[in-house]
Amino acid sequence: MKMDIEGGESIILEHVAPFLAERRIPLCVSMHESWWTRPVDRHWFRGVSSVDGDLSGWNDVLELP
């Protein structure tokens, strides 16, 4: 699944990352930190085998279940 929601990552990732990990669905996220209402927490990615990329700034992150 690819996510590019222009700053909404910090709202959605807390719920979608564990949901996708349980179903073994990879996630590619395009991060837009300057628009976040709160920081992304690495804890939201528990249950995934790897997170490639930085969870801050303007970049892409790949989460693999």
Cα 54 from Cα 23, distance rounded (Å): 23
Output the CA torsion sign for 57, 34, 18, 23: negative
Q: Is the pTM higher than 0.85?
A: no
Say if CB 63 and CB 27 are below 8 A apart.
yes
Tell me what percent of the residues of the chain surpass a pLDDT of 90: 26
52-63 pLDDT per residue, tens: 988 888 888 888
CA gyration radius for the chain? Answer: 10
* Domain extent listing, the chain: 1-27
Q: How far apart are CA 13 and CA 42, in angstroms?
A: 10
